[in-house]
Amino acid sequence: MKRIAIFLIMVIMVLVSAGLAWSAAEAGDMAKWRDFMWRVINFIIFVAILYWAAGKRIGKLLSDRREKIRDELVELDERRTEADKKLQEVEAQIKDLGTQREKVLADFQQQGEALKQAIIAQAHEKAALIKAQAESSATQEYKLATDKLREELADMVIEAAEKMIQGQLTKEGHEKLIQQSLTRVVLH
């Protein structure tokens, strides 16, 4: 129905233009107008045949193209909406970046303080251990030095006593002293 209406409108327009041309033309210009009219009629016939032969395909091609463009517009609209959402997310992250930075700095500072306290505690423990080892070593050195001094002092006392006894002891006193020593050894 739509095709017929379009075809009829085109035929009426050609006939009206041909009639106007015919009535306005003089006798000499009539051949030019007839030639023009035949060209218009040929063009209308060509368009009608083209429409009849390929009209459905052209219509389908145009409607497919229209659908494709519509789909692309919908897809572009969806992409734009998605891009707007991502932009808002990024803007929110940028706004929140200062807060996140402060939080990270606070966390690092807390970790640094904890590490500092751990290092100080380890240093105190090592210092106490080194101090205890030094005290133990000093005590041992003192004991060794005292024992060595006692030995030397005992040796000196024995030498001095020996010299003193040798100077005062006679042969009889010497034998008496040996007897007393043997009696003590045997009794104990």
In a domain, 55, yes or no: yes
Contact between 47 and 9 (Cβ < 8 Å): no
In a domain, 138, yes or no: no
Q: Look up the domain containing 108 and give its range.
A: 2-123
Backbone angles phi, psi at 174, to 5 degrees: -65, -45
Binned at pLDDT 50, 70 and 90, residue 21 comes out as low
Number of structural domains (the chain) is 1
In a domain, 37, yes or no: yes
In a domain, 35, yes or no: yes
In a domain, 136, yes or no: no
The continuous run of DSSP H or E covering 132 comes out as: helix 30-168
**In the 8-state DSSP scheme, what is residue 25?**
-
More confident residue, 147 or 158: 147
In whole angstroms, give the CA distance from residue 41 to residue 30: 16
In a domain, 156, yes or no: no
pTM (two decimals): 0.34
- 99-154 confidence digits (pLDDT tens): 888 888 889 899 989 999 999 999 899 989 999 898 888 889 888 888 888 888 77
In a domain, 81, yes or no: yes
User: What pLDDT is attached to residue 83?
Assistant: 93
CA atoms within a 13 Å half-sphere pointing along the CA-CB vector of 50: 7
In a domain, 134, yes or no: no
* Residues whose CB is less than 8 angstroms from the CB of residue 47 and which lie 6 or more positions away in sequence, other chains included: 10
Q: 105: which 2 tokens?
A: 């700095």
